[in-house]
């Protein structure tokens, strides 16, 4: 019965269990009631909901996760930090998957697992029958075990330490995904934005190999279609295609520029079927 109740909504771990490429989108601004349905209809397999680089607080995340649940679209929530109150509170408001920034060691990873899992797998404070349980009631031990099965941990590798220790991080029980934060990683490596630099490419290769050895999927965000295709062909499992603000802005800019260009062309060249007006009495 408990397994049947868990299956009522799709979780991020359900997405991870599917074979093949999984695609998603970044949301950091448009926490609107229809966002889940919009992205589900667009073909997203999952969503990245960001707290680290946005103004979204826990109250907004609480509401927005309900929008995604209504559309049966799993979400991963990037936290501001790996502190206990950030980890536990995000899970309490209903996050199935948390993304922890600046993961640099297996010791840090074990600490996150301790904060996010209930006994006997961790020491998270117990809160049952709330948003994290979809407000369902049930036997305590069953609920604790179900939460531990359901919650996923995405380790964000975006520092030199994270790269140096990625094999140990990947092998840590409770770590479900290795995710590369490409901009922060290049900055920490002293090569900001140099995504074709040999050292950066070697770091990506190390993450790929660590994921393969540990049997953990790997993920990245891309800003364009060509980048997504390249990653997919290179064997990356999870890809976030751009973000809400960036795509809207690019689409609006492109449309406005085309309209302005078209208006200028019209003024510069009169229409071929334009006829001169006849003078009266002519």
Catalytic option among 53, 86, 182, 197: 53
Q: Where are the alpha helices (DSSP H) in 52-197?
A: 58-70, 84-92, 106-116, 140-150, 160-164, 166-170, 182-188
The region, left, alpha or beta by phi > 0 then psi within -120 to 50, assigned to residue 265 is alpha
Q: How far apart are CA 179 and CA 201, in angstroms?
A: 15
Three-class SS state of 219: strand
Are 185 and 158 in contact, with CB atoms under 8 Å apart? yes
Are 183 and 189 in contact, with CB atoms under 8 Å apart? no
Bridge partners, residue 152, by sequence: 97
Are 100 and 82 in contact, with CB atoms under 8 Å apart? yes
Number of Cβ within 10 Å of residue 11's Cβ equals: 19
Are 87 and 69 in contact, with CB atoms under 8 Å apart? no
Catalytic residue check, 53: yes
Q: How far apart are CA 73 and CA 218, in angstroms?
A: 20
Number of Cβ within 10 Å of residue 127's Cβ equals: 16
Question: Which positions are annotated as active-site residues?
Answer: 53
């Amino acid at each position: 019965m408990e397994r049947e109740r868990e299956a009522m909504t799709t979780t991020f771990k359900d997405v991870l269990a599917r074979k093949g490429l999984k695609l998603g989108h970044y949301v950091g601004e448009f926490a609107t009631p229809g966002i889940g349905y919009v992205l589900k209809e667009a073909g997203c397999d999952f969503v990245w909901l960001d707290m680290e680089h946005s103004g979204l607080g826990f109250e907004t995340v609480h509401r927005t996760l309900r929008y995604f649940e209504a559309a049966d679209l799993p979400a991963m929530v990037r936290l501001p930090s790996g502190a206990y109150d950030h980890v536990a509170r995000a899970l309490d408001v209903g996050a199935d998957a948390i993304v922890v920034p600046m993961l640099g060691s297996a010791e840090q990873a074990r600490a996150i697992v301790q904060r996010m899992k209930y006994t006997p797998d961790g020491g998270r404070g117990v809160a049952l029958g709330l948003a994290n349980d979809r407000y369902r009631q049930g036997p305590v031990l069953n609920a604790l075990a179900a939460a531990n099965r359901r919650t996923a941990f995405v380790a964000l590798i975006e520092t030199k330490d994270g790269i140096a220790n990625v094999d140990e991080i990947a092998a840590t029980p409770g770590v479900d995904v290795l995710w590369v934060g490409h901009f922060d990683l290049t900055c920490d490596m002293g090569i900001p934005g140099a995504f074709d630099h040999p050292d950066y490419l070697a770091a990506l290769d190390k993450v790929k190999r660590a994921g393969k050895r540990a049997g953990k999927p790997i993920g990245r965000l891309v800003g364009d279609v060509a980048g997504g295709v390249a990653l997919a062909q290179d064997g990356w499992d999870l890809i976030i295609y751009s973000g809400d603000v960036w795509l809207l802005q690019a689409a609006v800019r492109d449309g406005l520029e085309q309209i302005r260009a078209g208006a200028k062309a019209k003024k510069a060249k009169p229409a071929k079927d334009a006829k001169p007006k006849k003078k009266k009495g002519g």
